[in-house]
Amino acid sequence: MSETTLKATAAASGASATERFLTDKTGTGTPAGGVDAERVNTLATEVITAVHDVIRRHQVTYEEYNVLKSWLISVGQDGEWPLFLDVWVEHAVEEVATAVRKGSKGTIEGPYYVPGAPTLPSVCTLPMRDGESGTPLLFRGQVTGVTGEPLAGALLEMWQADDEGLYAQFAPGIPEWNLRGSVATDDEGRFAVTTIQPAPYQIPTDGSCGRLIAAAGWHAWRPAHLHLKVSAPGHEPLTTQLYFTGDTHIADDVASAVKPELVLDPRPNGRGANEATYDFVLDPTA
């Protein structure tokens, strides 16, 4: 891919992710939007104090302070706050939010979920372009409750990057719902979805997050992943991601979102596709 295409992609992704978040989640995430003043006081004071501690402990200079200040400004200008927060902060929030669950492990949502993907039957193919590149993947399984009861009519919302690591609606030139769908399970809670196995994913390297990564000598890779939200009436919705065994970045995901329970082991099925099975267990509504 050319340098120009990458640049266009990073900018478009940041702007779209910011707009998406403000459309879907304003009110839950804005300062003091429904959050009690005492709680805001406690959390804001502790975060600010933690920053002061770092400055004193490391004798931070004015030069470093100004580099940080201009970097923080550029994160906003690039529209990369959703990316920054979901890569480096969300995993801790997810851990706290799901600590008492008995059902399937989940992980972070990330910046690229879009509600309202086309509804598909339990046996289906995700919307894709003619000749969509990537190894075909048949992903099948069952959704149950914690006592093993099948959840008929559960909804499996799936979204994923294409073989170039690009997400529809966040990178230009991809059909609106490409590799996105809302799959309804059958009478036994089962599903069988044909898609493509996504490629390892590099977060945009040409924006503010990429500049932080380069400046710190980190890397920008996430292992290849499928994103899912699984929901059923009377149950806690599960937000998760599934990875692929043997992926080099399983052990060092830039977003710290891999858990051992979330790794698929797809096998060639003799019909030109890889096949992987995964069962989801949903907790009852708290």
Residues near ligand MBD, by CB under 6 A: 83, 86-87, 108, 110-112, 201, 203, 222, 255, 257
From the list ligand MBD, Fe ion, none, pick the one residue 108 interacts with, judged by a Cβ distance below 5 to 8 Å according to partner type.
Answer: ligand MBD
Rank residues 87 and 242 by Cβ distance to ligand MBD and give the closer one: 87
Indicate the helix (H) or strand (E) that contains 184: strand 180-184
- Scan for tokens 């006081």, then name that residue: 41
Binding partner of 203, given Fe ion, ligand MBD, none, CB within 5-8 angstroms per partner class: ligand MBD
| DSSP 8-state secondary structure symbol assigned to residue 86 | H
- Report the relative pairing of strands 274-277 and 136-145 from DSSP bridges: parallel
The DSSP string of 197-252 is: PPPPEE--SSSHHHHHHHHHT---EE---EEEEEE-TTB--EEEEEEETT-TTGGG
Mapping DSSP to helix (H, G, I), strand (E, B) and coil, where does residue 192 land?
A: strand
SS3 at position 281: strand
Nearest distance in Å: CB 152, ligand MBD: 29
3-class DSSP state for residue 182?
A: strand
Closest residue by beta carbon to ligand MBD:
110
Least separation in angstroms between CB 19 and ligand MBD = 16
- Quote the least distance from Cβ 258 to ligand MBD, whole Å: 11
CB of 60 to ligand MBD, least distance (A): 28
C-beta closer to ligand MBD: residue 255 or 273: 255
For residue 55, is it left (φ>0), alpha (ψ between -120 and 50) or beta?
A: alpha
Which stretches of the chain bind Fe ion, using CB under 5 A? 110
CA distance 104 to 277: 14
Cα separation of 65 and 52, whole Å?
12
Select 83 or 126, whichever has its Cβ closest to ligand MBD: 83
3-state secondary structure of 180: strand
Q: Which is nearer to ligand MBD, 111 or 266 (CB)?
A: 111
For ligand MBD, the closer CB: 151 or 278: 278
Please choose which of ligand MBD, Fe ion, none residue 168 contacts, taking the beta carbon within 5 to 8 angstroms, the exact cut-off set by kind. Answer: none
Residue 108 or residue 151: which is nearer to ligand MBD going by CB?
A: 108
Q: DSSP for 145-163?
A: ETTS-B-TT-EEEEEE--T
Q: Closest approach of Cβ 36 to Fe ion, in Å?
A: 32
Integer Cα distance of 166 and 147 in angstroms: 38
| Rounded least distance, CB 114 to Fe ion, Å | 12
**Which among 27, 203, 31 has a CA at the least distance from the CA of 112?**
203
In the bound complex, what is the minimum distance in angstroms from residue 124's beta carbon to ligand MBD? 22
If the CB atoms of residues 84 and 139 are measured against ligand MBD, the closer one turns out to be: 84
